[in-house]
Amino acid sequence: MPKLYSDEQYFYFKDSAIVYLLVALRRIVEEDTLFLEKYSPVLKEIALTSRTINVLQRELAREILAIIKPLSKEIQTACDVVSKEKVQVKRRYLHDKENKGTNFRFDTMDIVPKVYYFLGQIFQKAEGEIMEDCDKLISSWGITNEMIQEWNKKYKTYEYQRKSYGLNTEVEDLSKYVQYNAMYYVADEYRKTLSVTDDEYPIYTFETWVKSWLTKIPGRWTSDIKTLPPNKKIFLDTKQYVKDGKYIIDDNVFNDAFWYIYQNKKYLILYSNTSIEYEHSGKHYSISVGIMDKKYINRLLKQAERDNYWIEENFISHDDDNYEFIEDVTGESYEKESEFETFDPYTNKMKYNFLKPNEDIEHFFNLVDVLSVDYSITKDESYPIKAQYWSYSNSERVYNRLSEGEMLFIQKEAFIEYLSSKSSKVVVAQIDVRYSDGYKEYGEKAEETERRKIFILDSCLDNVLEEIEVKINNRY
C-alpha cells in the first residue's frame, strides 16, 4: 500500500478505513452470517456507544447486526434522531455562511453548499453553523491548514491534481476528507441533541441522508450488479480502423449485432448503450428495439429516408399521437444518482439507468413485482430477461473510462412466445455505431465516423424483412 494511504498521523485515513472495513463486512455477512456472529459484541458497542462517532460506522454496524440476528429495539433505533420535537424550517437561513471565523479553510464552493446544506436542512442549521461545528472537531484532531498545504505539496503532483477537483475526485484529498468526516461526526451529535425541521416534503430524512452516503442503489451495492463487460466481440474490440485519416466502420459490425450468447442460450438484445476507449480512440454502440404492426412497414421505410432518423422518434408515448407507431420494449427505469461520493468502493463513477422490460412484457411473464435492479445477471434468477452493467477504467488516462455500458436482453424463445401472443407484429431493431478520437491533446487525429442501420425482423426473429441504412448528416 502506498505510504500516502497508510500515514497514521492523519486521523481521517483511520476513520475512512473503518468505514470501508464495515462496508466489506456488510457484504460478507449476507453470504455467511455465522462468520461474524462472534463479533456481535464489538458491533453492538459501535452501534450503541454513547460517544459521538462517525455516524456511517454506527449505521453499518447496525445493518450488520440486523442480518446476524433479530434486532432489539435498542439496536433498531441506534441511528434515530433522539428528539421527537420539531423545529420550524426557514429555508433562506440555511445557506447563511456567516460565522465568527473558522481556523480551517473550508471548501465553500463545493462541499459547504452542496454537501453541508442537506444536513442543515434536516436540523435547521445554517451552512456557517455546520462549518463552525466541524471546525471545532477538526481542531481537536490536530489538523491544520499548514498540514493540508504540506500534504498537497508532497502528494498532489500534476498527475493527481488533474483528478482532484470538485466533489467526485479520484485521488483522496486530505482537506476534503477531513471536512467529510467532520460532518459525519457532527451529524451523529446533531442526531442526539437537535430536533428535525417540520418540513412537510424534505429532500432527506436523517435516515435516508445517512444511507445515501453508503450506496446510491436502494437496498443494493454497486458490486451487487456490476459485472465484466459482455463477451460480445464488438463490445471488446479495441483495434483502430482508420483509412486516409478517417475512421472506418465495416459492414461486419452489423452482423449478429442484436444477438448475444449467455450461458449457452441465445438472447436478443432489447437495449444497449456501451462505449469502449483504447489508445485515444473511442467506440460507441447504441441498440434499440421495438415492435410494430406489419402495416406500418412502408411508413417506417419512408420515415427512415430522413437524415439522422432514430426509431425512438416513433416510439408510442401517452400522447396518443398518430405519428407514433412503434412500441418500445423497454420500460421506465430508476436512474442512479451520481452527484456525490459514496463509500461504495465499487462505484467507479458508474452512470446508468436500471433497465427493465415494458409493463406488457412484465405482465406476460408474471414479472410485475420484480425490481429493475433484480434483472441483473448477478441476481442469478431464472428470469427470461436479464440486464448487465459494467464500468472499468484505465488509470493511466486523464479521461480514463476504458469500458462502460448497460444492456437488457431476452431469451430468443421467450420473445418469440411473447410475439406469438400478438397479431401481425414485426420487430424493429436499430443499431448506431460511432468511432472517434478519445481524449487526445497531441498526435495524429482522425475524422469521426457514424453509421446507423435499422432491421425489420419477422415474428420468428430468423428472417430480415427489410434492412435500411440511415443517412448521417452531423451538422455540428
Instruction: Give residue-wise pLDDT tens across range 375-419.
Output: 988 877 889 999 998 877 654 444 445 788 999 999 999 999 999
Decide: 336 and 351 in contact? Cβ < 8 Å. yes
User: Residues 180, 322: one domain?
Assistant: no
If one counts the domains in the chain, the total is: 2
User: Residues 390, 411: one domain?
Assistant: yes
Per DSSP, what are the bridge partners of residue 453? 431, 469
User: Residues 184, 301: one domain?
Assistant: no
The residue among 214, 241, 264 that closes a domain is 214
Size (the chain), residues: 476
The residue among 170, 187, 214 that closes a domain is 214
Residue 3 CA to its chain's centroid (Å): 30
* Max Cα–Cα distance, the chain, nearest Å: 75
Rounded Cα distance, 189 and 49, in Å:
12
Residue 159 has pLDDT above 80, yes or no: no
Q: How many CB atoms lie within 10 A of CB 117?
A: 17
The residue among 214, 248, 270 that closes a domain is 214
SS (H, E, C) the chain: CCHHHCCCCCHHHHHHHHHHHHHHHHHHHHHCHHHHHCCHHHHHHHHHCCCCCCHHHHHHHHHHHHHHCCCCHHHHCCCCCCCCCEECCCHHHHCCCCCCCCCCCCCCCCHHHHHHHHHHHHHCCCHHHHHHHHHHHHHHHCCCHHHHHHHHHHHCCHHHHCCCCCCCCCCCCHHHHHHHHHHHHHHHHHHHHCCEECCCCCCCCHHHHHHHCCCCECCECHHHCECCCCCCHHHHCCCCCEECCEECCCHHHHCCCCEEEECCEEEEEEEEEEEEEECCEEEEEEEEEEEEEHHHHHHHHHHCCCCCCCHHHHECCCCCCCCCCEEECECCCCECCCCCCCCCCCCCCCCCECCCECHHHHHHCCCCCCCHHHHEHHHCCCCCEEEEEEEEECCCCCCCEEEEEEEEEEEHHHHHHHHHCCCCEEEEEEEEEEEEECCCCCCCCCECEEEEEEEEECCCCCCEEEEEEECCCCCC
pLDDT band per the 50, 70, 90 thresholds, residue 104: very high
Specify if 49 maps to a domain: yes
What are φ and ψ of residue 296, in 5° steps? -95, 5
Over residues 241-260, the pLDDT tens digits come to: 888 989 999 999 999 899 99
Rounded Cα distance, 130 and 183, in Å:
8
Per DSSP, what are the bridge partners of residue 433? 285, 451
Instruction: Write down the pLDDT at residue 114.
Output: 85
Specify if 476 maps to a domain: no
First-residue to last-residue Cα distance in the chain? 47
User: Residues 143, 228: one domain?
Assistant: no
User: Residues 145, 236: one domain?
Assistant: no
Instruction: Write down the pLDDT at residue 11.
Output: 46
pLDDT above 90 coverage of the chain, percent: 49
Q: Are strands 196-197 and 86-87 parallel, antiparallel or unpaired?
A: parallel
Decide: 275 and 441 in contact? Cβ < 8 Å. no
Rounded Cα distance, 160 and 241, in Å:
32
Specify if 328 maps to a domain: yes
User: Residues 42, 110: one domain?
Assistant: yes
Cα–Cα nearest to 429, from 311, 283, 325, 302: 311
What are φ and ψ of residue 319, in 5° steps? -90, -5
List the grid coordinates of 80.
Answer: 434515530
Instruction: Write down the pLDDT at residue 167.
Output: 38
Rounded Cα distance, 94 and 113, in Å:
9
Most confidently modeled of 155-164, 202-211, 320-329, 338-347? 202-211
Q: How many CB atoms lie within 10 A of CB 394?
A: 12
User: Residues 287, 194: one domain?
Assistant: no
Residue 233 belongs to domain spanning: 224-470
Sequence-ordered list of residues with C-beta below 8 angstroms from that of 267, at least 6 positions apart, any chain: 259, 260, 261, 386, 409, 410, 411, 412
- Average pLDDT (210-219) is 74
pTM: 0.71
Decide: 398 and 432 in contact? Cβ < 8 Å. no
Specify if 282 maps to a domain: yes
Specify if 27 maps to a domain: yes
- Of the listed ranges 81-90, 279-288, 345-354, 462-471, the least confidently predicted one is 345-354
User: Residues 45, 175: one domain?
Assistant: yes
Specify if 149 maps to a domain: yes
User: Residues 155, 237: one domain?
Assistant: no
Specify if 370 maps to a domain: yes
User: Residues 462, 364: one domain?
Assistant: yes
pLDDT band per the 50, 70, 90 thresholds, residue 335: low
Instruction: Write down the pLDDT at residue 108.
Output: 87
Rounded Cα distance, 408 and 454, in Å:
18
Most confidently modeled of 66-80, 89-103, 291-305? 291-305
462 burial level (CB within 10 Å; 0-12, 13-18, 19+): exposed
Decide: 158 and 82 in contact? Cβ < 8 Å. no
278 burial level (CB within 10 Å; 0-12, 13-18, 19+): middle
Give the type of residue at 44. K
Specify if 201 maps to a domain: yes
User: Residues 99, 187: one domain?
Assistant: yes
- Of the listed ranges 45-54, 85-94, 433-442, 459-468, the least confidently predicted one is 433-442
User: Residues 269, 164: one domain?
Assistant: no
Sequence-ordered list of residues with C-beta below 8 angstroms from that of 25, at least 6 positions apart, any chain: 36, 39, 60, 64
